[in-house]
Amino acid sequence: MIRRLAVYCGSASPEDPRYAALARAVGDALARRGIGVVYGGGKLGLMGAVAAGALDAGGEVVGVIPEALVAAEVANPACTELVVVKTMHERKRAFTDRADGFLTIPGGVGTMDELWEAVSWAQLGYHAKPVGLLNAFGFYDQLLAFNRHMAEVGFVRPAHQGIILAEESLAPLLERMDAYTPHRPIFAMTAEDL
């Protein structure tokens, strides 16, 4: 059962208002389902919109932010809980420890770093949690195509090709994440499997 999701998204605010509206709607929808949000702890961009949507709907919001960003005054003081860490690595570890799964919505380089680490750690066996990708507006079409290409070439093992759960809307994605059955991680494989 998913009680909390780590939500990965951009700290920027694109000119297209659909992205901020989507982020706010995701926060709202998670809160209304009783799912807490664990996110990057910022008040700007899509991160801030996700937090505002969840908080306005009465949801739990746990922000995890590095000291350097607190000093830059981008931390969100409205969070239910704001966890300050020293490094980005500690931040990502806290996401994994505090959440029952990972939900990625549109974002940039930092969002990709978080997504791929969640996928990589799932492959290895550091966690057995669902990794969801909300492909709203076709934002991740090319990333999904590249992931298929990596699998076709042989860089993603058949056992791990279903780690990323992608949908164009939130409700079916959450259903798939809730029903996720963990795959066989690399740590449980033998040399013949690899």
Q: Sketch out the chain's domains with CATH numbers.
A: 4-188 (3.40.50.450)
| Lowest-confidence segment of 109-118, 141-150, 180-189 by average pLDDT | 180-189
pLDDT surpassing 90 at residue 191: no
Cβ pair 105, 134 in contact under 8 A:
yes
Residue range 54-72: mean pLDDT, rounded: 94
pLDDT surpassing 90 at residue 192: no
Q: Which of 18, 182, 40, 59 shows the shortest CA–CA distance to 111? A: 40
pLDDT of residue 190: 81
pLDDT surpassing 90 at residue 104: yes
Residue range 51-62: mean pLDDT, rounded: 98
pLDDT surpassing 90 at residue 37: yes
pTM of the model: 0.95
Pinpoint the alpha helices (H) of 83-153.
88-98, 109-124, 141-153
pLDDT of residue 1: 87
Residue 85, CA distances (Å) to 5, 51, 147 in order: 19, 19, 31
| Sheet hosting strand 4-8, strand order edge to edge | 81-85, 61-66, 36-39, 4-8, 102-104, 131-134, 164-167
Neighbour count for residue 148 (Cβ, 10 Å): 12
From the number of C-beta atoms within 10 Å of its C-beta (0-12, 13-18, 19+), residue 166 rates as: middle
